[in-house]
Amino acid sequence: MFKTRSLSRRRAHLSGVLLVVVLILMSCTTTVSALLWRIETVDSSTSDVGRYSSLALDASGNPRISYYDGINGDLKFAWNDGAAWGIDTVEEADGPLGAGSHTSLALDAANTPRISYHDFSGGLEYAWRDGLGWHIETVDSNGGIVGYHTSLALDGGGNPRISYQDYSKQELKYAWKDYQGWHNFTVDSFGNTGTGSSLALDSVGNPRISYLNYYPNRDLLYAWYGSAGWQITTVDWTGSVGEYSSLALNMAGNPRISYWDQTNDNLKYAWQDGTGWHTETVDEAGMVGQYTSLALDGSGRPRISYYDRTNRTLKYAWFDGDHWWTETVDSSASVGKYSSLALDTNGNPRISYYDETNGHLKYASAVPLLSIPGGSGAPRDLDGDGKYEDVNGNGRKDFADVVLYFNQMSWIAANEPLSAFDYNGNGRIDFADVVWLFNHL
């Protein structure tokens, strides 16, 4: 009885102040998409599994991940078709250090996986799966120290192209396969170069590569192949910059690159247009920007996953056309190294990454939260507890959030993820959630 009377009084109180509250002039903010992240552990079979992860999504948006098992020295492959995770061992260790580091994954037109990686015994190797199982071949061998920092792309015919570093010679190399077999070419041999190579192919299959010249300049470089052969330009030379680069091409074939500014310990982004190269700082909150992975949405706007070294967390940044926004994806442990980002057909981010505390491979997927009618922006989880109490998206918890929730319960139930707004955990959106929100202001 007491609880019923209390709820009735609060309902009457909320209704009574509604007319007053809607007259309040709310501060206008830029409307952005908030994201609700779901975190999964993919592989926990050993105490060190998940480094060098590389993520791709099949035509249905299902994740596939290549990665390294550091305990057994194996190359592994994980997939999920909507029910549960399956895991293959692609290549078992055939030497003291094994195979499977520096992986890069691509899916062909039939959604079958192809993986480039380093084998400590065989050098640069390439694996693919068909109906008979996994097949492995050596691409380039040089005493076991070639094939670092691999990046794989498939041309329009499904033929593999790989950028990589010859660690023994400290060179950037490029390999391709045709009907005659594998071929390779040294793209850059100046100093110690080729670290963190990232490959993309233009619309006619010509390669473009971003990478770091580690010595003597520590600059971000960009190489491309065309009618004049290979050409190289310096993108950013302001201090020690360019490690952990990730390259993508927009619909016009113009390059975009995310990378780490070591001098300032910031995340940076570079893009090229008709006037040349431009660079900007994306995130400078603490020591951030390692292990970047870049993807472009359907409008060509950049999204970046990366590691926050100060807080040891996985972060995500996106550009809305006017501003950069950043958020923490996972802060449950020391997480976020070896991040790999892909976007589904709706532009929703998916990230594979390494949980260093537990030594496991993890996967994060996100769905957007919509701006609730009457609010000033997308709802926000201000304290990271998974409850989106800032209902109107104005950057704070206040009574206006209670009123908006009360007025839009039906809309929230129909359009937003239940887990973000079911504050009391009873499995539905109802007036009890309004009371909970009111009591937790």
Give the CATH number for residue 291: 2.120.10.70
Sign of the dihedral defined by the CA atoms of residues 353, 356, 357, 359, in that order = positive
Task: State residue 144's pLDDT score.
Answer: 59
Beta partners for residue 362, in sequence order: 41, 353
Task: State residue 143's pLDDT score.
Answer: 65
Residue-wise pLDDT for 226-255, tens only, equals 999 999 999 999 999 999 999 999 999 999
Instruction: Label residue 184 exposed, middle or buried (CB < 10 Å: 0-12, 13-18, 19+).
Output: middle
Please provide residue 12's backbone torsions phi and psi, each rounded to the nearest 5 degrees: -65, -40
Task: Tell me: do 143 and 107 sit in the same domain.
Answer: yes
- Sequence-separated (6 or more) residues with CB below 8 Å from residue 319: 301, 302, 303, 325
- Sequence-separated (6 or more) residues with CB below 8 Å from residue 186: 166, 169, 171, 172, 173
Whole-angstrom distance, CA of residue 25 vs CA of residue 376: 11
Of 326, 350, 369, the one marking the end of a domain is 369
Task: Tell me: do 164 and 139 sit in the same domain.
Answer: yes
Task: Tell me: do 198 and 263 sit in the same domain.
Answer: yes
Task: State residue 12's pLDDT score.
Answer: 41
Peptide bond into 96 cis (omega under 30): no
Range 86-104 average pLDDT: 90
Residue 288 CA: distances (Å) to CA of 114, 140, 156, 271, 305: 31, 34, 36, 20, 11
Strands 229-236 and 241-249: unpaired
Task: State residue 24's pLDDT score.
Answer: 33
Range 77-90 average pLDDT: 95
Beta partners for residue 184, in sequence order: 175
Task: Tell me: do 379 and 427 sit in the same domain.
Answer: yes
Task: Tell me: do 136 and 274 sit in the same domain.
Answer: yes
**How many domains would you assign to the chain?**
2
Domain that residue 169 falls in: 35-369
Task: Tell me: do 23 and 71 sit in the same domain.
Answer: no
Residue-wise pLDDT for 162-188, tens only, equals 999 999 999 999 999 999 999 999 999
Looking at per-residue pLDDT, the higher value among 384 and 231 belongs to: 231
Of 313, 346, 369, the one marking the end of a domain is 369
Task: Tell me: do 291 and 432 sit in the same domain.
Answer: no
